[in-house]
Structure 1
Amino acid sequence: MSLSRGLRPAPRRVLATAGALSAALVLSACGGGDADDTSGGGNTNFVTSKGGISTAAKGERADIDTIAGETLDGTKLDVADLKGKVVVLNAWGSWCGPCRAEAPHFAKAAEAYKGKDVAFVGLNTRDFNKQQALTFEEDYKVPYPSLYDPDGKLILFGFPKGTLSLKGIPSTVVLDKEGKIAARALMALDETKLRSMIDPLLQEK
């Protein structure tokens, strides 16, 4: 059967991009392991500890690309506006078991750092029903905003190639006060591990 006149198939380039987004998110979704991903080039200036946390030394850290949009509650947020603070970026989904496991630790840490130069921002992905994500935040008393990223575009394209980027769900990246990528974990975190990523950056001059 031929296509109706005036109805054209989507360009291959668009289909390929959509397919790549979907495949990348499916392959990386809800990993609970400690594996590090150093793909993206041979000039990766970071090291990974035995605990699975990768760090980049000051002076060897990369800037993020644009990570901005609308939060789950409809507010506009641009991570670039948070320079001057240590910023914790956490990719999560309400459907993800390890995300549920780490959520109480993130909520507790966010409350503990309140009033200090630390900002927490979630990146909620693959929750095509926004209400499920909002219920997750309510259930775990999440006190910080999450950018709504159902297609995973911010996660996949918010970081330069070859840097410490968000690679799975859950995963966490911490930015230093200059907005540069300083640490990453590709696993669910408890409060102790999360603090080990934040505290050294708070102490930097």
Structure 2
Amino acid sequence: MRSSLAAALALAGVLLAGCTSGESAVDVNNGGEFRYVASTPAGEVIPEGERESAPEFSGTLLDGGDFDSTELAGDVAVLNFWGSWCPPCRVETPQFQEVYDEVRDDGVQFLGLNVKETDQQFADAFVATKGITFPSLYDPRGEVALAFRDYPANAIPSTIVLDRENRVAAVYTGEVRQDDLRTVLAQLTGEA
């Protein structure tokens, strides 16, 4: 009995340690369940000739305003799928704010997509306490993530970067390092 209890506690410790590292993500399947999976730290940057158009989407922002993906037209766009319940998001989101402050005047838009949140109050509190100024869409059913089902937006956090032609240019599953994001944004803002 003691060995079974010790093994169970050891397994729980390993699982909890994985949940709080920057190298993990939460996989959200269509049934709404969550599980942590390994991330792809550097992500995938898609060559310009191989990029596909991003799906159109719309919804309601956390501040109550309406949003349509056509508002991203002509700009590079960073779409970050997050939840207040997601440990890597607590690290990544303030770092996104830093990068956003650096590039928002360079034709780059950031849009958070709050998914699978049981109560909007949690999302509102998260944005307020982290000092996030870029907009976030409230998507409790994960409908926008489903629209991006050809890309790994079903893992939280996930980040999809669109080029100026509204094509998917980079995909990150898990926490994105600031330097990786800066590099891809510099590349995309430099494209003709």
**What is the rounded CA distance, in whole Å, between the counterparts of 2:152 and 2:167 in structure 1?**
11
Q: Unaligned 5+ residue runs, structure 1?
A: 1-19, 36-50
Matched, 1:159 2:156: no
**What is the rounded CA distance, in whole Å, between the counterparts of 2:189 and 2:167 in structure 1?**
13
For residue 58 of structure 1, what is the amino acid of its counterpart?
E
Deviations 1:141-161 (A, max 9, x none): 1111111111111101x2263
Cα deviation for residue 83 of structure 1 reads 1.2
Give the aligned partner of residue 34 of structure 1: 39
Cα deviation for residue 66 of structure 1 reads 1.9
* Matching residue within 22, 25, 47 for 2:31: 22
Matched, 1:128 2:136: no
Counterparts of residues 145-184 of structure 1 (less than 5 Å): 145-156=135-146, 158-159=147-148, 161=150, 164-184=151-171
Q: Is the 8 A contact 1:21 1:153 kept in 2?
A: no
- Structure whose residues are more often helix by fraction: 2
**What is the rounded CA distance, in whole Å, between the counterparts of 1:183 and 1:100 in structure 2?**
22
**What is the rounded CA distance, in whole Å, between the counterparts of 1:191 and 1:137 in structure 2?**
19
Matched, 1:204 2:187: no
**What is the rounded CA distance, in whole Å, between the counterparts of 1:186 and 1:160 in structure 2?**
13
For residue 133 of structure 1, what is the amino acid of its counterpart?
A
Aligned residues: 164
Counterparts of residues 66-145 of structure 1 (less than 5 Å): 66-145=56-135
Structure 1 counterpart SS, 2:93: helix
**What is the rounded CA distance, in whole Å, between the counterparts of 2:124 and 2:90 in structure 1?**
13
For residue 188 of structure 2, what is the amino acid of its counterpart?
L
Q: Percent identity?
A: 34
Give the aligned partner of residue 188 of structure 1: 175
TM-score where L is the length of structure 1: 0.75
**What is the rounded CA distance, in whole Å, between the counterparts of 2:118 and 2:48 in structure 1?**
38
Moved over 3 A (4+): none
**What is the rounded CA distance, in whole Å, between the counterparts of 1:79 and 1:142 in structure 2?**
20
Cα deviation for residue 22 of structure 1 reads 2.1
Cα deviation for residue 115 of structure 1 reads 1.2
Q: Is the 8 A contact 2:152 2:173 kept in 1?
A: no
Structure 2 counterpart SS, 1:182: strand
**What is the rounded CA distance, in whole Å, between the counterparts of 2:45 and 2:152 in structure 1?**
11
Q: Unaligned 5+ residue runs, structure 2?
A: 1-28
Counterparts of residues 39-78 of structure 1 (less than 5 Å): 51-78=41-68
Cα deviation for residue 192 of structure 1 reads 1.1
- Structure whose residues are more often strand by fraction: 2
